[in-house]
Amino acid sequence: MKSMLMLATATLALAGSAFAADGKTLYNDKTCSACHGPNGNKPLMPDYPKIAGQNAKYIEKQMIDIKSGARANGNSAAMKGVMHLVSDAEIKVLADYVSKLKP
């Protein structure tokens, strides 16, 4: 019984890792495209940032700060509403994906 539980836990962990590795899927599933555009360069509102091609560490820091509440200025309230859906591992994957999009 214990070995079956360990196997199920390992399987779920691997499935989560495999999903998190796909930045494009995360970008769409976590609704990033709704505000920043399908390629991160055509935001919904003129004052939303174009995020395509931004430095990955910068994007990661902004998402972490918005999620934690350390950043609460400007339009961060719009993102705060969805950041609870994004894990720390997914933040890294999203930041890497966005950094490779064409501005």
27-85, pLDDT tens digit by residue? 999 999 999 999 999 999 999 999 999 999 999 999 999 999 999 998 899 999 999 99
Q: The domain 2-99 belongs to what CATH superfamily?
A: Cytochrome c-like domain (1.10.760.10)
- The answer, as to whether pTM is greater than 0.85, is no
Tokens of 60: 């990661």
Give the range among 19-23, 52-56, 76-80, 86-90 with minimum mean pLDDT. Answer: 19-23
Phi, then psi, of 42 in degrees rounded to 5 = -135, 80
